[in-house]
Structure 1
Amino acid sequence: MTRDGQRPRTLRAYGIAVVFLAAAVLVGAMAGAADLNPLATVAALLDRLPLVHLPQQLSALDRAVLFQIRLPRVVLGALVGGALALAGAGYQGVFRNPLVDSSLLGASAGAGLGATVAIVALGGADAATVPVAAFVGSLAGVALAYLAGVTGRPGTSTLLLAGLAVSMFLTAVQTYVLQRSSQDIQQVYSWLLGSLSAATWSQVTQILPYLAVSTAAVLLHGRHLDVLSVGDEEARSLGLRPGRIRLVVVAACALAAASAVAVSGLIGFVGIVVPHAVRRLAGTSYRLVLPLSMLFGAGFLVLADTVARTVVSPAELPIGVVTALIGSPAFVWILRSTRSVRT
């Protein structure tokens, strides 16, 4: 398809992504124990934009619910979903495998171990320490996997196997720590299943710098990932260094995933399902897959969190349960479609 022929498809994909994210944000802002009028909610949100002044119909209490409780959760969910989807798409580009995400490279296992150690050491889930421990653990897990994978004869298969081995090792250590402190098992598993119930504007501002850096680094390598998808030899013939590209993209994706899991816990399948859906919509070029995965991932997680906090209200489901219920069948479908293409 020519560039001019691809342009309408690209514009359509971006249009769908923006509408999907906007609708998800609106649904997330309105849904809850206190019902908010849709038009009044939209007016209140638009009134916060520069140079926009609209008459307000929400009461002071409803505005407090919207801007201090629901909107921080919606924004944090969008950031986390976008980061996880971006990391998944980036890893899939590096390893040329649509079934790869951050959980296969030690990020999730490292975050789980870091959070577990922090909870056990402090005798509870401290809101300030656990995210930091999860962040450090996630980066450490990816670093260990990468160092193990580049020794000897480096390659994508070697890195994946190293990531799997490191993940299994860190999970084993986490299990041992839990067995030594069984009274903290419930708090640890609550964190592991993922939740945005404690979302605040402070958490949003804490992860924004890390997400900005990691997002910029990954998006700037979209063209390089397109070249890598053809093969390392072709990349070298064009003057690129595949090893350096993989290192930068893996590090940036690890930073994005670590920032996300630090504030949300472990949320699976976003990094696998969303990029695959984007490829079906917009094609395989990573210059499109990466930014569109961010937009669709943000909307997907906002909707998943809305389901998690409303379907059994006033209780909440762990958001990881909701994404697993959606992602597991989708993963099987992706696996079957991938096999059919290869055969």
Structure 2
Amino acid sequence: MNTNRWPFGVYYALLSGLLLGALLLSVRVGAVSLDFSDIGRYLAHAFRHETSGNIREQLFLQIRLPRVILCTLVGAALSVSGALMQALFRNPIVEPGLVGTSSGAALGAAFVFVMGQTLQHTWIGLAGPLLLPLFAFAGGLTATLIVYRLSGVFGKTNVNTLLLSGIAVNALGASGTGFFSYVARDPQARSIVFWNLGTVSGADWNSVAVVGVSTLGGLLLSLRLGKALNALMLGETDAGYLGVRTARLKRQVILLNTLLVAVATAFVGVIGFVGLIVPHILRLLKSADNRFLLPASALLGGLLLNMADVLARTIVAPSEFPIGIVTALAGAPVFLFLLVRNNRKLQKGGFYA
């Protein structure tokens, strides 16, 4: 059976069904297992605004449920960001972590962890709970712009320069984060260390609200760029002939990428390789059409990150394994495979696409 002939809607339906199954599994398993009958009763109580002193119900409503929703939103944000960056750089081995967005956001967040209390009485303190995502956004945007500027050669994106620039910017971000870890007090240092490993254990309804706005808003805006990104895959010159304002499109993609990654990173830490793996899987399954990749990446990203979180919660239960380590163990071999495959194509006369 040739599944490539299936319309996009079939894939959306399949991915939605798999995501729903992953959500049901994720809310059920953990250090405390919950029955589906109990979950249904707890949700009914929540819809009726009934309160209960049941500790298992509070665990579900205040810890497990926001964690699962946040995990879905973060997976969607990272995956959509990966699809956007791969279309912008016209290369399938690009992901937000490689171009410095994550390390820049990590540096901004580390600054807030250490200096936030010191600055709370100044005008910066007016940002309140948005202080962390704002600084993460600023750090991620700065890092991404530096890498993008350095990787452009004669109007084309040089992949070797891109990777080298990403390595340099990531090293700078890591050194800055390491400096703040060194000067931080013990609780602050531990927060930075665990945050850099990636975790959704601190999920609450406030973080769900902020990440939900950025992820859903970024996804809706990115869907409008699908056709233009398809044209950009032909090259900037040809895209210009087709009526695409390439300079404006680049700015929009960079801002969207930074919004999606920086806000998500600010609340869950650095989670790598999700943005690399998900778009590539979808290209193999169906199509490189960005009109398909962007919404499908959101669904598959939420699915895969939830499954990684289930593994992180159960592999060393009742303790918890950092989810960033799980995604790195799965994603690093895939990245190496793509890098070798891409180099072989270039040796045969391919181009950066």
TM-score greater than 0.5 by the shorter chain: yes
Shift of 1:279: 0.8
Deviates more, 1:257-266 or 1:140-149: 140-149
- Residue 198 (structure 2) aligns with: 194
Tell me the residue number matched to 1:333: 337
For 1:257, the equivalent position in structure 2 comes to 261
Q: Deviations over 1:38-75 (max 9, x none)?
A: 355367658978xxx9xxxx995443332222110000
- Tell whether the 8 Å contact from 1:84 to 1:271 is kept in structure 2 after alignment: yes
TM-score (norm 1): 0.84
Q: Per the alignment, in what secondary structure is the counterpart of residue 36 of structure 1?
A: coil
**Contact 1:32-1:310 at 8 Å conserved across structures:** yes
Aligned to 1:120: 114
Q: CA deviation at 1:76?
A: 0.3
**Letter matched to residue 64 of structure 1:** Q
Does residue 17 (structure 1) correspond to residue 15 (structure 2)? The answer is yes
Q: How does 1:1-343 map to 2 (within 5 A)?
A: 8-38=6-36, 40-41=38-39, 60-121=54-115, 128=129, 130-146=132-148, 154-157=155-158, 160=162, 162-181=165-184, 183=186, 185-342=189-346, 343=348
User: RMSD of aligned C-alpha atoms?
Assistant: 3.1
CA distance in 2, matches of 1:145, 1:200: 33
Asked if the contact 1:235/1:242 (under 8 Å) is kept, the reply is yes
Q: Displacement, 1:309?
A: 1.6
Kindly state the Cα deviation for residue 260 of structure 1 after the two structures are TM-superposed.
0.8
Q: Is the 8 A contact 1:115 1:131 kept in 2?
A: yes
Q: How many correspondences in the alignment?
A: 330
- Asked whether the 8 Å contact 2:141–2:254 carries over to 1, the reply is no
Q: Which runs of 5+ in 2 are unaligned?
A: 121-127, 349-353
Segments of structure 1 that go 5 or more residues without pairing to the other structure are none
- CA–CA separation in structure 1 for the residues paired with 2:32 and 2:180: 41
Moved more, 15-24 or 175-184: 175-184
Letter in 1 for 2:285: L
CA distance in 2, matches of 1:21, 1:42: 18
For 2:10, what is the secondary structure of its paired residue?
helix
Once the two structures are overlaid, the 10-residue window that deviates more, 175-184 or 235-244, is: 175-184
Separation of aligned partners in 1, 2:4 and 2:273? 29
Q: Secondary structure at the match of 2:194?
A: helix
One-letter amino acid of the counterpart of residue 241, structure 2: S
Deviations 1:287-317 (A, max 9, x none): 0011101100011111111211222112111
Alpha-carbon separation, structure 1, partners of 2:181 and 2:57: 42
CA shift, 1:253, in A, is: 1.1
What is the alpha-carbon distance in structure 1 between the residues aligned to residue 55 and residue 179 of structure 2?
A: 47
What is the Cα deviation at residue 320 of structure 1? Answer: 0.3
Aligned counterparts of 2:104 and 2:203: Cα–Cα separation in 1: 22
1:25 Cα offset (Å): 0.5
Deviation, 1:207, is 2.3
Q: Do the aligned partners of 2:4 and 2:285 also contact (CA within 8 Å) in 1?
A: no
Per the TM alignment, residue 19 of structure 1 is displaced from its structure 2 partner at its CA by 1.5
Partner residue, 2:124: none
Kept after mapping to 1: 8 A contact 2:272/2:324: yes
